[in-house]
Structure 1
């Protein structure tokens, strides 16, 4: 093996960069797209949906923090599971998590396209998004919907950035995340300032009374939590770049807690203002444009550069989807890289590029699946991601318990408080949400279930084929070694 093949990732990301990767993924399309969906299912109790999802997520966050401090390897949940589970179990975990990140990338790319078109429409560049025609591809003469073209361009651009430089992609994530958080802070501030204004859309807590409207009981929270769970997926992305973060044993846990805490606060404030101004029914009716509709109703007009509140939120949505997309491009490629380095995918996938210092092949391979997935319905992409993340979080919590039992003396700079209560609660709560979500999908989105099952089946086939390939390669090496017996003095070296 050459020196180039053995190159390891370089620690080019600081604590702020790592935190922003988590926040960039969590404060993504979810807060803009899923708020209306949560309000449609559970009414004003959508606020509880996001709060309880934050609690459920925090329990698993504790497990990620302990595992990251004990196992400072890139690859996130896969790297942890690989440490304690058997070969097949760890492969399935990596296969599932890799897919979840790539499908989430497709979801964010699909969310970016209409928001970008809406932003161009605000400034009079194009017609309203629903009136924008197909783009005719040169040479082929085939018309492709504009949203697919924009989704492809967004993925391709960020893939190029990530393939060329980890530091550049991390810096871009930090800048974009700060911008979008600032926009959401402005939304919240103007929302609360509208209280007592006397207008129909001024903020009032009366919109939360009753919390559970007639026909929408407390149990409506569960399906809404399952469908919006992906909004809190993101802190785990921090652990996929562990080896690229300075002082990872200390900074990774800090970044997980900081990103989770900040995201939960932002989500609760945004949802409170959206329901408090528009009301749950209007928010639900506005659907994916719910936050923008709320902003238009109470934010001032004639803002510098940004014309009005609705335009400001669309601007924020563009940044949010781009940062979330960039985060999952980083994460998906690191999972594939880690699997390749561990010998569970082709060796070339687990190598660092000798010039760019990035997992070049892993980035490109992840991009191929991500680009192919943008043809999926947006809702199905979100549902598949939520399901796989719930399942993978269950496995990670099982891993932290097994590792404590089997390696009690392992160096753990951070330990879960009140162990084993948090991981046990996380397993139970994530399991309940997964079961509820599967039941909901059986009734509403069989496509998501069938594609999820198909990916797992493809994983089993891939595992068998790769094992046969490795066995054949090992047999060939053994035969060659026997033939060249006199020169076998360095047989233990690769």
Structure 2
């Protein structure tokens, strides 16, 4: 079997992260967040970035320890065995692979507001028409072939696209702010700064596309196997891309709030309906050149992210095959081009399925956000578990204060899961269950090797998911519950529950067979302890 080539530098890796983060989220996120939280959506972006940064720091340490392709789907298995590993990998893969059709849908949704008769037939309300679906399929094929031959072609294309994706949002901010900005929109008499209270601010973090947008921090980790110097590149790529992105997103949110016609905002931020939010504002302000640029960027920004995720999801399938969850064919690497082509074909098929099931950007963004959070909860657990059972492993990046960062990251992730509101939380929990037959099939095939210990190590996660679904149902009405637990008290209970499950999860880790595989990856990258002493 050929190995994946290490050909990506620090800049390319950071551009991969930033290219994943700045996708369709900036085209729609500010509008959706404002509809839920009003002007206070500014805080939603900041809260979202802080939460993701805490979680990302735990994965940064893990990614530097195990610089391998598809790493995000492996860490939980290293610490807790195959059952936890499968649930975490399944949730992560569902969240990431569904981004590919989401980005393509975003491009066509923006295209719907072009001033041509034929573009009006692309959408029927919030759903794509058959014609719109055909165009989305064309975009998916473009993403596919940009990654088909070599990761270097992907890197070069993504670097150029990402630079473009940074410039256009900045042009939008400057252009719209100078053409028409209404400071009074931030404190309208009928709305105020927080028209839906702080619960609206929190809900916007979970379902408006904020978690969905910042989710791109994973891409440098999943591409770590291609990095020339992973211990330096991974933390710079993750932290750098998140910090740059939050500055851009907050400025975009301020721009959107200030640019809306006050008469529209006075009717309620949730009543504002835009098919192409920033382009619609540019046209309303008479900035026609900017509208044209935005229509062009509606292809470039989402396509850059779609291209990036086409690459990273293939590496995830490659990683899941090595974990024993997928057929061997998905672990095959092309001997010349060094890319996992069978995994790419599989993800293309899954993307098409998602396209036909969910034909609007908003519906997919919500599902992606919740599935993402479920996959995130294992990062803080695994990094601290390895501090206990993997003390001998080489840690090129040893995060200071991880004993505080990790539990806070777990608590924050739990809160976002709750903020997503019932019944969405329950629906995504059901999607997690769909993947279990695949896991049990491979358990039967492997004669249930080590299943009893794996099941015991997964108790915390199984109970956690059940409790969170139940808590979401009986929680505050502000988050879709039946209000058995009142607003305010629900936060107190969540903190207590999070702490209990966090320490249960860390204590459940055990030195399973997969930890040995992790040691091999670590030693291959950095040498054994004895070899390091010689050096």
TM-score after normalising by structure 1: 0.82
Match of 2:49? 54
- How far off is 1:167 after superposition? 0.9
Match of 1:410? 393
Q: What is the correspondence of 1:384-423 to structure 2 with a 5 Å cutoff?
A: 384-423=367-406
Match of 1:149? 134
Contact 1:163 1:364 in 2 (8 A): no
Q: What is the correspondence of 1:180-195 to structure 2 with a 5 Å cutoff?
A: 180-194=165-179
Q: Deviations over 1:434-476 (max 9, x none)?
A: 022142627xxxxxx54x3454233211111123234499xxx
How far apart in 1 are the matches of 2:144 and 2:422?
35
Find the partner of 1:362 among 327, 332, 343. 343
Q: What is the correspondence of 1:265-280 to structure 2 with a 5 Å cutoff?
A: 265-278=247-260
Find the partner of 2:281 among 288, 294, 297. 294
Moved more, 247-256 or 373-382: 373-382
- How far off is 1:128 after superposition? 5.5
Match of 2:353? 372
Match of 1:138? none
Q: 1:424 to 1:133 in 2, by over 3 A?
A: closer
Q: Deviations over 1:277-296 (max 9, x none)?
A: 22685575143422222333
1:226 matches 2:206: yes
Contact 1:45 1:212 in 2 (8 A): no
Match of 2:499? none
Find the partner of 1:336 among 308, 312, 317. 317
Find the partner of 1:131 among 121, 130, 153. 121
How far apart in 2 are the matches of 1:212 and 1:349?
53
Q: Name the SS of the counterpart of 2:274 in structure 1.
A: helix
Match of 1:206? 184
- How far off is 1:214 after superposition? 7.1
1:168 matches 2:168: no
Match of 1:318? 299
Find the partner of 1:460 among 417, 430, 436. 436
1:18 matches 2:13: yes
Match of 2:244? 262
Contact 2:112 2:119 in 1 (8 A): yes
Match of 1:81? 76
How far apart in 1 are the matches of 2:397 and 2:286?
44
Contact 1:277 1:294 in 2 (8 A): yes
Contact 1:76 1:240 in 2 (8 A): yes
Structure 2: segments with no counterpart, 5+ residues: 450-535
Instruction: Name the Cα RMSD after superposition.
Output: 2.4
Contact 2:110 2:276 in 1 (8 A): no
How far apart in 2 are the matches of 1:212 and 1:412?
49
Residue correspondences, number: 435
How far apart in 1 are the matches of 2:440 and 2:117?
51
- How far off is 1:411 after superposition? 1.7
Contact 1:299 1:309 in 2 (8 A): no
TM-score after normalising by structure 2: 0.76
How far apart in 2 are the matches of 1:454 and 1:332?
22
Q: Deviations over 1:68-107 (max 9, x none)?
A: 1111111132122232121111122112211111112121
How far apart in 2 are the matches of 1:51 and 1:208?
17
How far apart in 1 are the matches of 2:195 and 2:236?
42
Q: Deviations over 1:199-220 (max 9, x none)?
A: xxx2243322268457521221
Q: Which has the greater radius of gyration? A: 1
- How far off is 1:299 after superposition? 6.5
Match of 2:409? 426
- How far off is 1:20 after superposition? 1.4
How far apart in 1 are the matches of 2:433 and 2:294?
41
How far apart in 1 are the matches of 2:300 and 2:120?
21
- How far off is 1:361 after superposition? 0.6
Q: Deviations over 1:223-259 (max 9, x none)?
A: 1111022111101111111111111121111111111
Contact 1:25 1:324 in 2 (8 A): yes
- How far off is 1:133 after superposition? 8.9
Q: 1:132 to 1:464 in 2, by over 3 A?
A: closer
Find the partner of 2:93 among 90, 95, 98. 98
How far apart in 2 are the matches of 1:466 and 1:163?
29
Q: Name the SS of the counterpart of 2:6 in structure 1.
A: coil
Q: 1:441 to 1:175 in 2, by over 3 A?
A: same
How far apart in 2 are the matches of 1:70 and 1:270?
36
Match of 2:334? 353
Q: 1:441 to 1:144 in 2, by over 3 A?
A: closer
Match of 2:29? 34
Q: 1:203 to 1:148 in 2, by over 3 A?
A: same
